[in-house]
Chain A
């Protein structure tokens, strides 16, 4: 009964999405205020029904309703409640419903928070968001119905993939989707602007907080995925340049470029057509990512089990939405040429460089991700592009970006005279270089050029960021949220750079065959295999090893890696034992019983790795703080190109 209600609610949601699009776009085109009001109502209705559908599916999982095919293939009677709920988005059909819910949520938020926008513009924004909603809901109803029944009901489910039975991975998709999907708002604002042929830059101010918010979510989502891979999956790896990872990273890079050039467009009215293109590109990359992950065109160990037939549907949807937006851009953007002068050392200049480097990195990653597809399509063989290529291609634009970041933050608009900051910046640079050499020599007794450069850049950005609040407070200037956010976010970038440099330069990973009582050493730490015992959990059994770690004879940690076998059957799962410290992680993973009393173990020393994710958290925090700056709260509507018919009483 309830699954059928959910199915029905989804159908109603689709109808309301159609209404939203028709009334939104149509109402704006005809200047019909009643239609425009109806579009807003449709948004609320759509959200309610998508939420009902989502609730129905969640209920089916919680109640272990194995007569629903999707529940039977992704759940199990012994699955704990938390994971029964997380299983809702554990596979293709349910994750699409999550996508739709996130989109409906963002659309509702935009509707509620933008009452002071002129009605036709708002109508167009809602109309475009409606078109995207139609795509996803139609996709589900036509090819990927989460409510399909299994008759007779299975006596037991196939269980949620044990890899997904983990807190971080359970919350990773909702946060990631809130990010991905949130870029649709910038997309809709851009398309609405293009349709109206607006010449002013007010839309940039309206778009910025939404983009910042979505970008912050995406930052956390990506960081969660990386952190999860580290402790659960990659045997200590934290980024693999796997196509599915790239699918979320590329929108992030575009989003980063976007929030920066929105600043220029908002403040100085420059780069309007570029900003519009980037707004379209960020969401297009989100959609592209969805396509890549679900269509099977790319070789990835990560992808959802999917289907070329479904891939064809998404591709058609992509072609319509992105193609349409790009054609719209080609038609309208030429009008928007802006010309205002700015000096080479002005803020505009630095932000231009920022965009150039980010787009270069983005293009290279896109090339590397799609290259196997090109090769396969041209029948030139089945290839994958190795991680070293991506590492190099990403590093090359990022080094100058991070270096210039430290200066660009202080550059003034238009004229760009750094003035009194120059001396302080030189001091900061000197301290950074000295600090880098110090860390390398003292902490790691190793002074490699790339490592020193990495540490220097990290310290440089961190110090330079801190100079801003110091300078402002000294000059008794205010510290608005936007500036605080910027400082925190850029400081986070420095921290992440510090972490990456540390880990990549000094990590040690080695496999050993050890028996109980034996020990092995890496990175100055001795790992002693102290004991092996049975392990038991709510839905698994297994073994647990105990490792005592000492340094210079003094015991500092106990690690307890496990090897689990879930009751629902299947392959064994490894749970690593990790000891977290302020400057490093110690990592032990249990392999297999090798016979003769020995077990294979992987031991790792990971210096500074936590700062990668700590930095990411700060970046997201900075974005969130900047998003709530008072100047973004909408006030009186700006003048529009077209007039609006007076609203009916």
Chain B
């Protein structure tokens, strides 16, 4: 095989490989992109019903309820405009507390309750998920007065 042909073959192989990889990547993306919604968006119906997504907000003070002796726990997530009840079974991360920010991963149940399969651990006590902070902090209006 001439060097030229070899190079052509190499290029074709690379293009085919890249194409296959890209197709595979895009396909896999669909199931693995996790969208984030705050409680207001969820109540407005923006969040998908059959798929897993992430919810974030503050844990409403006094809302944490445990079924005594069991791993099941219920709490309410709020963005100070709307609230969503969450149900979770399992160990909670250390940095989970009432009055602090939280992000949970799961699905919306039929009853409007969010069933979490994971409550995300944070690495800093003072950490507030950026999406949550944005909901709590109203940006200044761009017009002078109403």
Which residues on A are within 8 Å of B, measured CB to CB?
A: 161, 163, 233-235, 296, 299, 301-302, 305, 341, 344, 356, 360, 364, 367, 371, 381-386, 388-389, 392-393, 396-397, 511-513, 515, 570-574, 589, 591-592, 594-598, 600-602
Contact = CB atoms under 8 A, between A and B. Distances in A.
Interface stretch (B77-85, B107-115, B123-131): B123-131
A282 to B, nearest CB: 21
Interface in B12-53: 14, 17-18, 21, 24-25, 28-29, 31-36
B57 to A, nearest CB: 13
B139 interface: no
Contacts of A574: 94
Contact of B21 (A233, A234, A364, A384): A364
B122 interface: yes
The A contact surface, by secondary structure, is: mixed
Interface string B78-109: 00000000000111111111000001000000
Interface of B: 3, 6, 14, 17-18, 21, 24-25, 28-29, 31-36, 54, 66, 68-71, 89-97, 103, 120-127, 129-131
A235 B97 CA distance: 18
Given A594-B70, A596-B68, A393 B28 contact: yes
Contacts of A392: 24, 28
15 contacts: A163-B124, A299-B131, A301-B121, A341-B3, A381-B35, A385-B33, A388-B32, A392-B28, A393-B24, A397-B21, A513-B70, A592-B66, A594-B66, A594-B70, A595-B66
Contacts of B3: 341
Given A233-B123, A302-B123, A389-B28, A383 B71 contact: no
Given A393-B24, A511-B71, A515-B69, 18 more contacts: A235-B91, A301-B103, A301-B120, A302-B123, A305-B126, A356-B14, A383-B35, A384-B36, A385-B33, A389-B28, A389-B29, A392-B24, A392-B28, A396-B21, A513-B69, A570-B125, A589-B91, A594-B68
Nearest to B129: A299
Contacts of A360: 17-18, 21
Nearest to B127: A301
B68 to A, nearest CB: 4
A266 to B, nearest CB: 22
Contacts of A296: 130
A235 B17 CA distance: 37
Contacts of A302: 123
B92 A385 contact: no
Nearest to B126: A305
A389 B32 CA distance: 6
Contacts of A600: 71, 90-91
B125 A386 contact: no
Given A385-B29, A386-B33, A511-B91, A597 B69 contact: yes
B93 to A, nearest CB: 8
Contacts of A601: 91
Contacts, number: 118
A492 B86 CA distance: 45
B91 A602 contact: yes
A367 B103 CA distance: 24
B10 to A, nearest CB: 9
Nearest to B89: A511
B17 to A, nearest CB: 7
Contact of A299 (B29, B33, B130): B130
B36 A382 contact: yes
Contact of B123 (A301, A367, A382): A301
Contacts of B122: 301
A589 B35 CA distance: 30
Contacts of A515: 69
Contact of A386 (B34, B120, B123): B34
A570 B97 CA distance: 10
A288 B94 CA distance: 31
B121 A596 contact: no
Contacts of B54: 384
Contacts of B124: 161, 163, 305
Given A364-B25, A389-B32, A382 B69 contact: no
Contacts of B34: 383-386
B90 A511 contact: yes
What 5 pairs between A and B have smallest CB-CB spacing?
A596-B69, A595-B68, A389-B32, A591-B91, A386-B32
A371 B96 CA distance: 28
Contacts of A356: 14, 17
Contacts of A573: 94
Contacts of B92: 591-592
Contacts of B17: 356, 360
A598 B69 contact: yes
B25 A393 contact: yes
B97 A571 contact: yes
Contact of A594 (B71, B95, B126): B71
A571 B29 contact: no
A366 to B, nearest CB: 11
A395 to B, nearest CB: 11
Contacts of A512: 71
Nearest to A595: B68
Contacts of A397: 21
A397 B14 CA distance: 13
Which interface residue of B6, B24, B71, B90 has the most chain A CB atoms within 10 A? Answer: B71
